Chains A and B, each alone.
Chain A
Amino acid sequence: MVTNPATSVASARLVMLQSLLLLGVAVVPWPERWTGLRSVLASARSPELNRAEREVHAAGYYEGLIGGDDGPEGARGELALRLMGKPNGWVRFNDADVSRLLPGDFLQFELVPGVQRMLFGQPFVTNSHGMHSAEVSLEKPPGTFRIALLGASLDMGWGVTFQETYSHQLEEWLNWHGRRRGIDSGRRYEVLNFAVAAYSPLQRLETLRRKAMSFHPDLVIYSATMLDLRLMEIHLCDALRTQADLTYDFVKATFDQAGVSRDLFQVDGAGKLVFKDQIKTRMRPHYWELYDATLGALAGTCRSAGVPLVIVIIPRVGKADAPLARAESVARLKAIAGHHALPIYDLSDSFDRYDPASLEIAAWDDHPNALGHRRLFLALARSLVKDEPRYRLLFPEARTSNEDIGKTVFTPKGASSDPAGTEVRTEPE
């Protein structure tokens, strides 16, 4: 008989020792400054797609085969998700029956008003205006300070209730903070969440003009993510595919500049863009310019209405937005904000110190869970407190310098009976 390699107690012990060693490496809390080692370990533990695959499926025959059927571009197939542990009833945004298509409209889709569904074991509720938030009136009640939030799924809240979103927590905190600090001018605060999953920067701009401005906001928060260029690409291809009017002159100008003529807008019988790859290739070098123009238009709209605009950078959970991976995008977003003289809060490091598994809604979905939204809220609240002009805009009665306010509000060991305050204070400095 041909035998297999001999086994011995020594070889068994060796395997056991090696396993223990690997386990030890994963368990040891390595110092934060050892970024290289931490990054390697995070990679070893990460079941996520890498950058190349998120952007396009490009890793070859076996990579696709192991994952089973193909998913949407830059996402895993259904079978791969199932093997990762996705239970029955876990659906993508497009399949969740909470949005409706707007054929031929530049906006492409929006949340359906009045949705009341159970998703992932939690209620997903939209108000009568199609926002993932509590009911609000179109008319601004007297003495109310309104903040309009523009963003995508990270801001809308996916896999969490609207009460758990960072925008809702911000609203609660604002209403509580003035009273607690003794700078209450009788104002009520409302944070209107206009964010919709997969909205690109252009759709956020369109939402501001078409929807948010009619609610008379006093402050607009624009959420930028590291996924925005990809969302812009998807949105523009969909707009061309559905033959929607491109609406903005600067968008049309960018197409001209990229050499994408109307000849390339052809759609086949199945409703797909015939020259999609060519359009994508030609447009790719121009997306940051287009982003710059979009934020310029957004800033212009806000300025002409006399509404201050703040940009926040919101990260995804996990390796996709790890420090090295996001560095270029963050730098570019800051440069664009600087170009338009807009304040920008970089919250992209909100998740850096934490285990991604504790912050994402599931191993196969990198949207922040309730704890992730809590981290985002804390980072945003801290940024607002440190930004004196915005803080005084929110709390005109405030007299303390912003440094003092920051220390007071976020002192780790305070004593207050207010639950929101308790939670804020538990955040480490």
Chain B
Amino acid sequence: MGAEIRDTVTKRLALHRQYFPTETRTAVGGPGPRREWGLYPGEPEACRRQVLPFLRSMVQLGLLVALFKRYQIEGRAFLALATLALAALPVHYLAPYRWKKPLFLAVSVIGLFWVFGNEVAAVVLGLAALLIGICFLPVSWGARAGCLAALAAALACARSQSFFAAVPATVWPVIATMFMFRLLIYLYELKHARAPETLIDTAGYFFLLPNFCFMHFPVVDYRTLQRGYFADDVHAIQQRGIQMMFRGTVQLLCYRLIYHELLIPAAEVQGPASLAGYLVCNYLLYLRVSGQFHMACGMLHLFGYQLPETHHWYLLATGFTDYWRRINIYWKDFMVRLFFNPVVFRLKRWPQPAALAVATVTVFLATWALHAYQSFWLRGTWGLAVPDALFWGVLGVLVLVNVQLDARRSRNRPAARSRARAAGAATSWIEIRLLAIRGFKTAATFTTIALLWSLWSSSSLAAWLDMMHRGLLGV
């Protein structure tokens, strides 16, 4: 959302446009008889195998797995999948390029069986085959989307009414985490893609190995995943993945320290100091989400899927649109593609501020509804409550105001720039002033978000007001 109204000079490309497709990369060793060292005939250069860089990646990954085991990071399911990734990586690395995607899919399915057992995995596989099969039906896009919507509604009813008592309860969150958002993105792609998608790409998109230990999973974009596949030298991609995983490890360890050592129950807030401590620690629990997302995307990198970062210094956001752009970047892009851009496009004849306002409101309403939808599939309850509505409502209003201000600022920016140039503005005191303003904005944004987060975490508005009363007045 924010990216689309920023200064065009610094404009960032949408995630799905960040990488060239593999076909445009230099392919060496064509179908001729000569085979280049490290490459099978016809393979892209990015796939070239080299002993030392790969061994380095393996040693680093081995060290990380030892860390996971020693610190018991994220339970045994994660450890099992990390170990599986470590074991499968050499095979995947050495396999010919055309076998890599099927191999990754096979490893993911093995991971599914390993973590959830035969019964759950078999039901998940069956349901997944049904959902994917509908996507490939030789009927119109509308008919396929309608079938999928009807099936999803039937499954939701079946789940909530316990029609399928024989189906293990674990099946629902597992199938949901694979399909609840990615299927929307995939349908969007089906509608707009010029060529039909292959079965292996489709299956690989839904069966992502780390998804089977992280139920709350980043909303990976289909096109980004496909375009990022071997979009750079494989060792560079693996290195980025390992760095991501290490960052995730550190964040998960920080989360545990906060969770066990610093966080107090809301009921024990008494006075401004404990309130401040609670607000900060409660907000920082989000480190678990960002840590898991880094870990998940890092693991995908190991198998050649280059993906953008999921979070970008979100604690240092200087405003609410900036915050929205930095925290859960995949979600923001998901919203931009499916809601913001279509609404703005449809309202292109309206004045820009009005179109932006309507699109922003749409995004936040969708975000609220989809968080409830996610809660239903993963937890079994919609979780709709007053604090929830207030959280998304207030955040939406704050972002809406910020979007309008940003849009106005971006229109006035050229004039301001020329004035600044005329005044020879690059003096140090101005830099200090700008730094101070930035610091103030960061602190204000952090405080507001921490406050909102505490509201979101409260069981009711009354409980939150009671906590604030105790915190501010110390009674």
Contacts and interface: CB of A to CB of B under 8 A. Distances in A.
Interface of A: 1-5, 7, 9, 11-12, 15-16, 18-20, 22-23, 26-27, 39-40, 43-48, 50-52, 55-56, 58-66, 68-70, 77-79, 82-85, 87-88, 319, 357, 363-364
B59 interface: yes
A58 B12 contact: no
A56 to B, nearest CB: 8
B141 interface: no
Interface of B: 12-13, 18-20, 56, 59-60, 63-64, 66-67, 70-72, 74-80, 115-117, 119, 169-170, 173, 213-216, 231-232, 236, 239-240, 242-243, 246, 249, 253, 256-257, 259-261, 263-266, 282, 285-286, 288-289, 292, 306, 308-309, 371, 374-375, 378-381, 383, 388, 453, 456-457, 459
B212 to A, nearest CB: 9
A84 B77 contact: yes
A25 to B, nearest CB: 9
Given A26-B70, A85-B76, A88-B117, 9 more contacts: A4-B309, A15-B243, A46-B256, A58-B265, A58-B457, A59-B285, A64-B379, A64-B383, A79-B173
Nearest to B60: A16
Interface residues of chain B: helix, strand, loop or mixed (majority)? helix
B285 A55 contact: no
Contacts of A60: 282, 285, 453, 456-457
B418 to A, nearest CB: 29
B75 A65 contact: no
A293 B48 CA distance: 76
Contacts of B56: 9, 12
Contact of A68 (B119, B215, B253, B285): B215
Nearest to B233: A7
A7 B239 contact: yes
Given A23-B63, A61-B456, A45 B71 contact: yes
A360 to B, nearest CB: 12
Most chain B beta-carbon neighbours within 10 Å: one of A4, A59, A77, A363: A4
A319 B285 contact: no
4 smallest beta-carbon distances between A and B, as pairs? A85-B76, A60-B457, A52-B265, A43-B260
Contacts of A61: 371, 375, 383, 388, 456-457
A363 B76 contact: yes
Contact of A79 (B117, B170, B309): B170
A357 B375 contact: no
A40 B59 contact: no
Contact of B375 (A48, A65, A88): A65
A317 B435 CA distance: 49
A78 to B, nearest CB: 6
Contacts, number: 176
Interface residues of chain A: helix, strand, loop or mixed (majority)? helix
A68 B212 CA distance: 12
Contacts of A40: 257, 261
B379 A11 contact: no
B75 A85 contact: yes
Nearest to A39: B261
Given A3-B232, A58-B266, A66-B216, A82 B77 contact: yes
Given A50-B263, A82-B170, A43 B256 contact: yes
B261 A43 contact: yes
15 contacts: A2-B18, A5-B240, A11-B239, A16-B60, A18-B246, A19-B60, A44-B256, A47-B74, A60-B457, A64-B375, A64-B379, A65-B378, A68-B173, A82-B170, A84-B76
B220 to A, nearest CB: 15
Contacts of B286: 62
Contact of B60 (A12, A66, A79): A12
Given A11-B243, A62-B289, A47 B260 contact: no
Contacts of A52: 263-266
Nearest to B77: A83
Contacts of A82: 77, 115-116, 170
A29 to B, nearest CB: 13
B64 A19 contact: yes
Contacts of B256: 43-46
A188 to B, nearest CB: 45
B379 A68 contact: yes
Most chain B beta-carbon neighbours within 10 Å: one of A59, A79, A87, A357: A79
B217 to A, nearest CB: 10
A2 to B, nearest CB: 5
Nearest to B174: A79
Nearest to B71: A45
Contacts of B371: 61
Given A62-B286, A65-B379, A66-B292, A46 B18 contact: no
A115 to B, nearest CB: 26
B63 A65 contact: no
Contact of B70 (A3, A27, A48): A27
A64 B380 CA distance: 11
B60 A69 contact: no
